[in-house]
């Protein structure tokens, strides 16, 4: 695996790949790689000739009191995992390389409306940071296809919208959620969960599935279902940030006749904010 730290050098290497007729797949990450990231790499490998992973803990998408400082940085272990997965290129820039004019002076990319709800409501500015860095990474790597995990459902929807609105020539592909045996969605932030909390955190996923089953059985009392799920999660000892039954397309509260529905939840443990979702299609 070739490792690049600079925009010019990664561009040059990938330019040669493209000139040789090879397609480029891209998996942007913030590192602390786990099996779910490797599954995204595998998807990119199935679809493209060469695969680039980026690791950049993007300060622009963290709020003032969020976990940018303590976000797990596991560079050596990440390299080993990518080498095992036969990844071709790693782009590992530092902050100066991505924000040479400083973050305050950085031109921003803003996707309106769908970033005001759910995670966007509790993390103001978060999605602006994501879309800004992802559009920069797209311009640096110039991939044919980029693969994102569906666990960050809203992020995926926002990035799809950005690509559509700005006519960015990148195919966006979604990778399924990879779960621990008890249903907990894999996430770099799972390392913040305490051993005492660990047996209870799968309640978020259990409640999402309970609501999904209820809807599949014909229950359309969405507000009551959301309220019951919140009670279940609180009874397991966690504070709920949001729990909503949404239209998969707009991320607005689902209407009773919507056929593409995603149930999304976010909850706080002592030191982590965990998110998860399940989608369903009604016939
Ligand atoms: O999902 C992530 O890890 C990040 O939000 C991303 C897409 C790499 C942008 O920093």
Does residue 40's CB lie within 6 angstroms of at least one atom of ligand 1? no
For residues 250 and 272, what is the distance between their CA atoms, to the nearest angstrom?
27
What pLDDT score does 65 carry? Answer: 87
Residues 5, 6, 34, 37: which is the catalytic one? 37
Architecture of the structural domain at 188-276? 2-Layer Sandwich (3.30)
Residue 29 CB–ligand 1 contact under 6 Å: yes
Give the CATH fold of the 2-175 domain.
Answer: Rossmann fold (3.40.50)
CB of 132 closer than 6 A to ligand 1? no
Sequence-distant (6+) residues with CB within 8 A of 216 are 280, 282
Specify whether the CB–CB gap between 212 and 263 falls below 8 A.
yes
How far is residue 37's CA from residue 177's CA, in Å, rounded to a whole number? 10
Residue 50 bridge partners (DSSP) = 24
* Cα 29 to averaged position of ligand 1 atoms, centre (Å): 5
| Token reading at 13 | 């290497």
Q: Considering only CA atoms, give the Rg of the chain.
A: 19
Query: In angstroms, what CA-CA distances link 2 with 11, 71, 94, 132?
Result: 13, 25, 17, 25
Task: Supply the pLDDT for residue 283.
Answer: 82
pLDDT tens, the chain, 283 aa long: 999 999 999 999 999 999 999 999 999 999 999 999 999 999 999 999 999 999 999 999 999 889 999 999 999 999 999 999 999 999 999 999 999 999 999 999 999 999 999 999 999 999 999 999 999 999 999 999 999 999 999 999 999 999 999 999 999 999 999 999 999 999 999 999 999 999 999 999 999 999 999 999 999 999 999 999 999 999 999 999 999 999 999 999 999 899 999 999 999 999 999 999 999 999 8
Q: Report CA 269 to chain centroid distance, whole Å.
A: 19
Element (H, E) at 206: helix 203-216
Ligand 1 centre to CA of 130 (Å) is: 6
Nearest residue CA, atom 9 of ligand 1? 130
Q: Indicate the domain borders of the chain.
A: 2-175, 188-276
Q: How many residues does the chain have?
A: 283
Q: Is 37 a catalytic residue?
A: yes
Asked whether the whole model's pTM tops 0.85, one would answer yes
CB atoms within 10 A of CB 213: 12
């Amino acid at each position: 695996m070739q490792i690049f730290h600079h925009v010019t050098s990664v561009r040059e290497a990938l330019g040669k790949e493209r000139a040789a007729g090879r397609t480029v797949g891209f998996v942007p990450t913030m590192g602390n790689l786990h099996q779910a990231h490797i599954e995204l790499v595998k998807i990119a490998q199935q679809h493209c000739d060469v695969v680039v992973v980026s690791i950049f803990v993007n300060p622009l998408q963290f709020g003032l009191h969020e976990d940018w400082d303590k976000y797990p940085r596991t560079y050596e272990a990440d390299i080993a995992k990518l080498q095992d997965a036969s990844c071709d290129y790693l782009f590992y820039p530092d902050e100066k390389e991505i924000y040479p004019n400083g973050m305050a002076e950085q031109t921003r990319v803003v996707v309106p409306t769908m970033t005001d709800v759910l995670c966007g409501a509790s993390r103001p500015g978060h999605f602006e940071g994501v879309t800004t860095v992802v559009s920069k990474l797209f311009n640096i790597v110039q991939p044919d296809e980029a693969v994102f995990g569906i666990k960050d459902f809203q992020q995926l929807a926002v990035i799809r919208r950005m690509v559509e609105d700005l006519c960015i020539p990148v195919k966006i592909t979604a990778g399924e959620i990879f779960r621990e045996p008890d249903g907990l969605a894999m996430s770099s932030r799972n390392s913040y969960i305490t051993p005492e909390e660990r047996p209870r955190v799968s309640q978020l996923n259990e409640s999402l599935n309970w609501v999904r089953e209820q809807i599949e059985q014909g229950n359309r009392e969405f507000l009551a279902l959301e309220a019951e799920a919140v009670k279940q999660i609180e009874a397991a000892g966690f504070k709920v940030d949001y729990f909503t039954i949404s239209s998969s397309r707009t991320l607005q509260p689902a209407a009773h006749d919507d056929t593409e529905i995603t149930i999304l939840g976010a909850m706080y443990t002592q030191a982590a904010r965990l998110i998860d979702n399940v989608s369903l299609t009604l016939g």
